[in-house]
């Protein structure tokens, strides 16, 4: 067993070329914080990028940041915060949900797993903010795509092509992201006591208004008490986050309170508490219970998702809460993952996809962790993998068995 | 077609033309197949009218099943296919080939569904960009990306080119506003990427498709995000004694945490040309003019206007006017939007370039262009999407003077090389097409380009879809990136270009 910890881009190329020459599949990791996510690997060797780190370009006035793949996300967020900026896509931290320490993730994983957070609806995910990449493909060749500017249509967008590829196409050695000003002020309106379907309608009204709502989430009664030290316990909470300059935030909060006056009692969670609340929703803290009970991450049409949860509840013990105006459902199963039932219901209610983000290693090896694709699409994905990694040496089987 | 090397027409395909026409007629009945030379003439070029070529035959399908059968037939019979939307490409992306079927998607012109609670619209690819906004504006919604040709360009073409617009720093490009596609592969297989839900279960094929210039698949349905229209918009018109000060002002606005809806810059020649043409009230004693638009809730816009005004004066603005009415805001824009035709009035011909640079490099690039201008003995006027660094230099020349076109082309190529040298790119929004494909090696080495071509191989192993576009051909040619405009004969004269 060999663990490569390359310190230069040349060493990354050499490590991949070694794997090619030995025909030895390798696991590609940063610090390994997401080993318990996705399909488990059975490779003998590892390329760990943890020592290939550092910021290579940060120009706040230009809204651009480049760093090497092994750089700590927390360090980068701290650097950005010092300049009043942030990754607007608000990357979640899987650590707490997977029973690990928070703050372990590396920069490369932002794109490789296409991380995002509660601002997804308004601000997109990592794939919407990536500007350029340098990548070592499974052919052991270093290529670049994109650049450091926002407006660029020169050639195919291989930067986006690397998004959500889980290290199976190539090793992104250096990535350039657009960064943006962090909001000056934030506050959260909390509508109390709504059922899931009522919450979906209230969130749709808010998101479709001129209130410029940055995030909309719904915590049903039994989840509501598990955030911000139990401040919201006792009733379901439908949350609307407003961000921006203070006069604008205040104005929009007043408008939305009027718009939703008939929906239920509205309270406000302001400032740092609001910030903490959305971080906890982002990181799925309500289900970070130290167990291996299966947790699904389901992306669906916002107005359909609550129907999936209602149907599941008739046959199994599930806990659920919603982000993205209802379109992102976090499901915690008390017993079995019920993969077939979950996926059949997604198809029934408008389509989407479910990822089994927490389960024991044996369960993740036995079940399709990622949503299976229809045959022509699965074949296309496989052809793409072959074009980047014809020998199948990079993270084989990480996403789909045999690919 | 002088000077442009396209893949050699395949004699075998040409000789099978009658069979191909018959086969297509069996798939698309009636007037959906056009093979008469005169009738095909309207399709012989897109908005890059310097290049013209009659296609082998034109087919205008109406259903997804027809598109699928056409592509399957072409794949099985090794016939090339060039997809076309509205034909407004500025880079020759829809230029026909002598031995290729031209697949025109204009009959796919229906809005299939508008879903307000989920804030999406599902449309056919031939619907125009503005057509989406028109279909939802009565409910206060709009589709955000707004390329200047939005009254004519199709959403399918926008997907192919990843079209931008003046508002993309704040609202994103096409890639950030498209949630789903239905597309047909060259094999005839129909696949769906994304939908009304977010993100992909696997590889981001939607991201790869967007901006792929019709080389990977044919889009048959598009699901887009629609947004609530901002409550209000106001603009500032700010003049500066130097372009450095204007550039610093832009940087300070962004450093102040403000992302304007639009932020445009013009240099002295562009200001004068525009003012002489439309009398927008632009100051004539400045070197650079900024038009900065703030949009959003009224309270927010008023707050930001005062912040931006303070930043402008701090950076030495010699004039700063704030729009007090919608008419005044539109007047500020009128000059900017008329910049291209205004330049067309002061010069018999011009070339329009499209590079992107890091914003801070603007003074260096402008100085470099002044030097090149002297070297080539040609004038240049600049308009600049200052928020996102997308630069449109307009090179003025007279095609009736021998060698002047050639000089202008060399000048243009040098400008794009300068853009790449300072960390920028060859094309910000017009696409590579046939126009800039030979310049690709300025930005990418052979390994970079080969990996892009391998993506093509995964989608289209026989290279039948839109061949000859985007990637350099085996031999270089002198043609370089620009839009030809001769004696004001702008392609699609009714479409504003800015």
Q: Do A161 and A191 have their domain in common?
A: no
Q: Do A275 and A311 have their domain in common?
A: no
CATH at A207: 3.30.70.2190
Give the closest residue to A321 by CA, choosing from A86, A97, A93.
Answer: A97
CATH at A324: 3.30.70
Does a structural domain hold residue A42? no
Pairing mode, strands A215-219 and A266-270: unpaired
Chain B residue closest to A377 (CA)? B191
Chain B residue closest to A114 (CA)? B199
> Domain range holding B218?
111-228
Looking at the predicted structure, is the pLDDT value of residue B92 above 60? yes
Q: What are the chain A neighbours of B230 within 8 Å (beta carbons)?
A: 210
Does a structural domain hold residue A172? yes
Q: Do B139 and B200 have their domain in common?
A: yes
Least Cα separation, residue B26 to chain A (angstroms)? 26
Q: Do B204 and B219 have their domain in common?
A: yes
Nearest CB to A152 within list B200, B360, B428: B428
Test B257 with A181 for CB contact under 8 angstroms: yes
Which residue of A9, A85, A152 to mutate against B (max B Cβ within 10 Å)?
A: A152
The pLDDT tens digits of the residues spanning A46-64 come to 999 999 999 999 999 999 9
CATH at B126: 3.30.465.10
For residue B337, CA distances in Å to B344, B495, B496 come to 13, 11, 7
Give the closest residue to B57 by CA, choosing from B80, B73, B75.
Answer: B80
Q: Do A191 and A130 have their domain in common?
A: no
Q: Do B286 and B381 have their domain in common?
A: no
Test B203 with A373 for CB contact under 8 angstroms: no
Test A149 with B428 for CB contact under 8 angstroms: yes
CATH at A119: 3.30.465.10
Which residues, numbered 270 to 329 in chain B, qualify as contacts with chain A under a Cβ-Cβ cut-off of 8 Å? 296-300, 303-304
Q: Do B255 and B287 have their domain in common?
A: yes
Q: What are the chain B neighbours of A120 within 8 Å (beta carbons)?
A: 198-199
> Residue B252: exposed, middle, or buried by beta-carbon count in 10 A (0-12, 13-18, 19+)?
middle
Does a structural domain hold residue A381? no
Give the bridge partners for B221, in sequence order.
B182
Q: Angle CA(B365)–CA(B368)–CA(B371) in degrees, nearest 5?
A: 155
Whether residue B197 lies within 8 A of chain A, CB to CB, comes out as yes
Which residues, numbered 25 to 54 in chain B, qualify as contacts with chain A under a Cβ-Cβ cut-off of 8 Å? none
Which residues, numbered 115 to 174 in chain B, qualify as contacts with chain A under a Cβ-Cβ cut-off of 8 Å? 116-119, 140-141, 161-162, 164, 168-169, 172-173
Q: What are phi and psi of B289, to 5 degrees?
A: -125, 130
Q: Do A197 and A164 have their domain in common?
A: no
Q: What is the DSSP code (8-state) at residue A286?
A: G
Which residue of A134, A156, A373 to mutate against B (max B Cβ within 10 Å)?
A: A156
Sequence-distant (≥ 6) Cβ neighbours of residue A146 within 8 angstroms: A130, A131, A132, A133, A152, A157, A158, A159, A176
The pLDDT tens digits of the residues spanning A193-222 come to 999 999 999 999 999 999 999 999 999 999
Test B190 with A376 for CB contact under 8 angstroms: yes
Residue A328 corresponds to which tokens in the numbers above?
A: 């992102």
Does a structural domain hold residue A145? yes
Q: Do B100 and B151 have their domain in common?
A: no
What residue spans of A53-151 are helical by DSSP H? 73-82, 107-112, 120-123, 126-129
* pLDDT of amino acid B492: 60
Nearest CB to B195 within list A245, A351, A386: A351
Chain B residue closest to A325 (CA)? B118
Boundary residue ending a domain (A124, A153, A181): A181
Task: Name the percent of chain B lying above pLDDT 70.
Answer: 94
The pLDDT tens digits of the residues spanning A57-100 come to 999 999 999 999 999 999 999 999 999 999 999 999 999 999 99
Q: Do B362 and B480 have their domain in common?
A: yes
Q: What is the DSSP code (8-state) at residue A98?
A: T
Does a structural domain hold residue A385? no
Please state, as a whole number, how many other Cβ atoms lie within 10 Å of the Cβ of residue A262. 7
Q: What is the mean pLDDT of residues A122-133?
A: 97
The pLDDT tens digits of the residues spanning B212-269 come to 999 999 999 999 999 999 999 999 999 999 999 999 999 999 988 999 999 999 999 9
Q: Do A361 and A302 have their domain in common?
A: yes
The pLDDT tens digits of the residues spanning B428-459 come to 999 999 889 989 999 999 999 999 999 999 99
Give the closest residue to B217 by CA, choosing from B24, B459, B449, B432.
Answer: B459
Q: Do B177 and B218 have their domain in common?
A: yes
Q: Do A67 and A171 have their domain in common?
A: yes
Nearest CB to A127 within list B207, B358, B450: B207
Nearest CB to A181 within list B259, B356, B452: B259
Q: What is the mean pLDDT of residues B187-207?
A: 97
CB A149 within 8 A of CB B361: no
Q: Do A342 and A237 have their domain in common?
A: no
Test A154 with B202 for CB contact under 8 angstroms: no
Count of structural domains within chain B: 4
CATH at B397: 3.30.70.2740
Q: What does the alpha-carbon distance between residue B299 and residue A2 come to, in Å, rounded to a whole number?
A: 60
Count of structural domains within chain A: 3
Give the closest residue to A114 by CA, choosing from A161, A156, A183, A146.
Answer: A161
Q: Do B224 and B251 have their domain in common?
A: no
Test B161 with A302 for CB contact under 8 angstroms: no
Looking at the predicted structure, is the pLDDT value of residue B270 above 80? yes
Does a structural domain hold residue B1? no
Q: What is the DSSP code (8-state) at residue A350?
A: T
Q: What does the alpha-carbon distance between residue B79 and residue B72 come to, in Å, rounded to a whole number?
A: 10
For residue B357, CA distances in Å to B350, B409, B416 come to 21, 20, 10
Band of the pLDDT at A17, cuts 50, 70, 90?
very high
> Domain range holding A308?
285-366
Q: Do B221 and B244 have their domain in common?
A: no
Band of the pLDDT at A402, cuts 50, 70, 90?
confident
Least Cα separation, residue A358 to chain B (angstroms)? 16
Boundary residue ending a domain (B104, B119, B151): B104
Does a structural domain hold residue B166? yes
CATH at B78: 3.30.43.10
pTM above 0.90, yes or no: yes
CB pairs under 8 A between A and B: 263
Looking from the CA of B336 toward its CB, the CA atoms found within 13 Å total: 27
Whether residue B453 lies within 8 A of chain A, CB to CB, comes out as no
More confident residue, B336 or B40: B40
The pLDDT tens digits of the residues spanning B365-374 come to 999 999 999 9
Q: Angle CA(A64)–CA(A68)–CA(A71) in degrees, nearest 5?
A: 100
Pairing mode, strands A170-178 and B483-486: unpaired
Whether residue B472 lies within 8 A of chain A, CB to CB, comes out as no
Test B202 with A141 for CB contact under 8 angstroms: no
Chain B residue closest to A156 (CA)? B212
* pLDDT of amino acid A300: 98
* pLDDT of amino acid B489: 59
Please state, as a whole number, how many other Cβ atoms lie within 10 Å of the Cβ of residue B364. 16
Q: Do A160 and A213 have their domain in common?
A: no
Whether residue A57 lies within 8 A of chain B, CB to CB, comes out as no
Does a structural domain hold residue B411? yes
Q: What are the chain B neighbours of A181 within 8 Å (beta carbons)?
A: 254, 256-259
Q: Do B64 and B126 have their domain in common?
A: no
Q: Do A278 and A314 have their domain in common?
A: no
Does a structural domain hold residue B150? yes
Which residues, numbered 95 to 124 in chain A, qualify as contacts with chain B under a Cβ-Cβ cut-off of 8 Å? 114, 116, 120-121, 124
Q: Do B200 and B221 have their domain in common?
A: yes
Whether residue B388 lies within 8 A of chain A, CB to CB, comes out as yes
Chain A residue closest to B357 (CA)? A149
Least Cα separation, residue A265 to chain B (angstroms)? 22
Q: Do A55 and A173 have their domain in common?
A: yes
Does a structural domain hold residue A275? yes
Looking at the predicted structure, is the pLDDT value of residue B478 above 60? no
* pLDDT of amino acid B8: 85
Sequence-distant (≥ 6) Cβ neighbours of residue B479 within 8 angstroms: B3, B4, B50, B409, B434, B435, B438
Does a structural domain hold residue A124? yes
Please state, as a whole number, how many other Cβ atoms lie within 10 Å of the Cβ of residue B406. 11
Average pLDDT score over chain B: 92
Chain A residue closest to B194 (CA)? A352
Boundary residue ending a domain (B228, B256, B274): B228
Does a structural domain hold residue A328? yes
Q: Do B366 and B477 have their domain in common?
A: yes
Does a structural domain hold residue B3? no
Which residue of A149, A203, A204, A323 to mutate against B (max B Cβ within 10 Å)?
A: A149
Whether residue A197 lies within 8 A of chain B, CB to CB, comes out as no
The pLDDT tens digits of the residues spanning B325-336 come to 999 999 999 998
Band of the pLDDT at A340, cuts 50, 70, 90?
very high
Boundary residue ending a domain (B104, B135, B152): B104
Among A240-254, B38-52, B103-117, the range scoring the smallest mean pLDDT is: B38-52
* pLDDT of amino acid B496: 66
Nearest CB to A380 within list B161, B205, B304: B205
Q: What are the chain B neighbours of A301 within 8 Å (beta carbons)?
A: 118, 195-197
Whether residue A177 lies within 8 A of chain B, CB to CB, comes out as no
Q: What are the chain A neighbours of B162 within 8 Å (beta carbons)?
A: 153, 157
Q: What are the chain B neighbours of A210 within 8 Å (beta carbons)?
A: 140, 228-231, 297
Least Cα separation, residue A44 to chain B (angstroms)? 25
Whether residue A16 lies within 8 A of chain B, CB to CB, comes out as no
Q: What is the mean pLDDT of residues B125-129?
A: 98
Q: Do A233 and A314 have their domain in common?
A: no
> Residue B181: exposed, middle, or buried by beta-carbon count in 10 A (0-12, 13-18, 19+)?
buried
Does a structural domain hold residue B6? no
Whether residue B441 lies within 8 A of chain A, CB to CB, comes out as no
Q: Do A274 and A233 have their domain in common?
A: yes
């Amino acid at each position: 067993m060999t663990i490569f910890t390359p310190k230069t881009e040349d060493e990354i190329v050499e490590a991949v070329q070694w794997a090619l020459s030995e025909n030895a599949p390798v696991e590609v990791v940063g610090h390994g914080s997401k080993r318990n996510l996705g399909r488990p690997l059975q490779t003998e060797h590892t390329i760990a990028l943890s020592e290939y780190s550092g910021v290579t370009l940060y120009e706040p006035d230009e809204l651009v940041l480049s760093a090497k793949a092994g750089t700590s996300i927390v360090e980068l967020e701290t650097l950005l915060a010092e300049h009043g900026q942030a990754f607007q896509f608000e990357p979640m931290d899987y650590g707490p949900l997977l029973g690990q320490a928070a703050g372990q993730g590396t920069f490369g994983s932002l794109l490789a797993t296409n991380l995002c957070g509660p601002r997804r609806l308004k601000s997109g995910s990592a794939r919407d903010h990536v500007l350029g990449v340098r990548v070592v493909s499974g052919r052991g060749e270093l290529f670049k795509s994109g650049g450091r500017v926002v407006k660029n249509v020169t050639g195919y967008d291989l930067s986006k092509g690397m998004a959500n590829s889980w290290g199976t196409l190539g090793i992104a050695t250096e990535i350039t992201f657009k960064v943006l000003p962090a909001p000056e002020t934030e506050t959260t309106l909390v509508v109390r006591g709504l059922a899931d379907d009522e919450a979906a309608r209230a969130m749709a009204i808010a998101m479709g208004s001129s209130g410029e709502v940055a995030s909309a989430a719904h915590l049903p009664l039994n989840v509501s008490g598990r955030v911000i030290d139990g401040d919201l316990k006792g009733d379901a909470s439908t949350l609307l986050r407003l961000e921006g300059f203070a006069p604008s935030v205040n104005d929009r909060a007043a408008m939305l309170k009027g718009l939703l006056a008939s929906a239920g009692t509205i309270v406000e969670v302001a400032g740092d508490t609001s910030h903490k609340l959305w971080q906890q929703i982002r990181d799925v803290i309500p289900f970070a219970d130290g167990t291996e009970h299966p947790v699904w991450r389901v992306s669906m049409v916002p107005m359909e998702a609550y129907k999936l949860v209602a149907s599941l509840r008739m046959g199994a013990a599930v806990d659920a809460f919603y982000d993205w105006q209802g379109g992102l459902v976090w499901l915690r199963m008390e017993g079995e993952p019920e993969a077939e039932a979950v996926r059949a219901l997604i198809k029934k209610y408008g389509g989407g996809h479910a990822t089994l983000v927490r389960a024991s290693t044996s369960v993740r090896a036995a079940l399709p962790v990622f949503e299976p694709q229809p045959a022509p699409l699965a074949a296309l994905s496989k052809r793409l993998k072959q074009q980047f990694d014809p020998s199948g040496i990079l993270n084989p089987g990480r996403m789909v068995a045999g690919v | 077609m002088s000077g442009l090397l396209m893949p050699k027409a395949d004699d075998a395909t040409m000789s099978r033309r009658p069979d191909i026409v018959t086969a297509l007629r069996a798939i698309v009945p009636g007037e959906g197949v056009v093979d008469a030379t005169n009738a095909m003439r309207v399709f012989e070029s897109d908005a890059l009218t310097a290049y013209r070529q009659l296609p082998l035959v034109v087919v205008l399908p109406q259903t997804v099943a027809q598109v699928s059968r056409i592509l399957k037939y072409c794949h099985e019979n090794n016939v090339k296919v060039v997809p076309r939307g509205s034909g407004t490409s500025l880079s020759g992306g829809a230029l026909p080939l002598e031995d290729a079927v031209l697949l025109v998607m204009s009959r796919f012109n229906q809005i299939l569904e508008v879903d307000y609670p989920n804030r999406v619209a599902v449309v056919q690819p031939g619907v125009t960009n503005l057509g989406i906004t028109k279909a939802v504006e009565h409910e206060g919604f709009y589709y955000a990306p707004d390329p200047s040709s939005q009254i004519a360009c199709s959403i399918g073409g926008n997907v192919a080119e990843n079209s931008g617009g003046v508002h993309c720093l704040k609202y994103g490009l096409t890639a950030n506003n498209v949630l789903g596609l239905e597309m047909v592969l060259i094999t005839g297989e129909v696949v769906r990427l994304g939908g009304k839900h977010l993100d992909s279960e696997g590889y981001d094929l939607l991201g790869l498709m967007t901006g792929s210039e019709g080389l990977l698949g044919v889009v048959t349905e598009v699901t887009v995000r629609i947004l609530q229209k901002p409550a209000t918009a106001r603009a500032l018109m700010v003049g500066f004694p130097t372009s450095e000060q204007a550039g610093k002002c832009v940087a300070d606005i962004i450093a102040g945490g403000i992302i304007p809806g639009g932020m445009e810059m013009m240099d002295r020649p562009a200001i004068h040309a525009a003012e002489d043409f439309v009398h927008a009230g632009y100051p004539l004693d400045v070197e650079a003019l900024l038009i900065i638009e703030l949009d959003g809730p009224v309270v927010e816009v008023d707050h930001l206007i005062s912040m931006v005004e303070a930043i402008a004066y701090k950076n030495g603005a010699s004039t700063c006017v704030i729009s007090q009415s919608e008419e005044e805001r539109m007047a500020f824009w009128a000059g900017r939007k008329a910049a291209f035709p205004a330049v067309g009035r002061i010069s018999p011909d011009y070339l329009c370039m499209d590079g992107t640079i890091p914003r801070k490099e603007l003074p260096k690039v402008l100085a470099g262009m002044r030097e090149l201008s002297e070297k080539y003995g040609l004038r240049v006027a600049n308009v600049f999407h200052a928020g996102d660094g997308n630069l449109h230099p307009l090179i003025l020349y007279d095609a009736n003077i021998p060698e002047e076109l050639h000089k202008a082309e060399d000048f243009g190529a040098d400008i794009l090389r300068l853009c790449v040298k300072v960390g920028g790119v060859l094309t910000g929004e017009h696409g590579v097409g046939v126009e800039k494909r030979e310049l690709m090696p300025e930005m990418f080495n052979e390994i970079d380009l080969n990996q892009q071509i391998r993506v093509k191989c995964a989608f289209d192993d026989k290279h039948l879809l839109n061949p000859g576009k985007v990637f350099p051909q085996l031999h270089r040619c002198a043609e370089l990136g620009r839009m030809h405009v001769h004696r004001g004969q702008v392609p699609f004269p009714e479409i504003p270009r800015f």
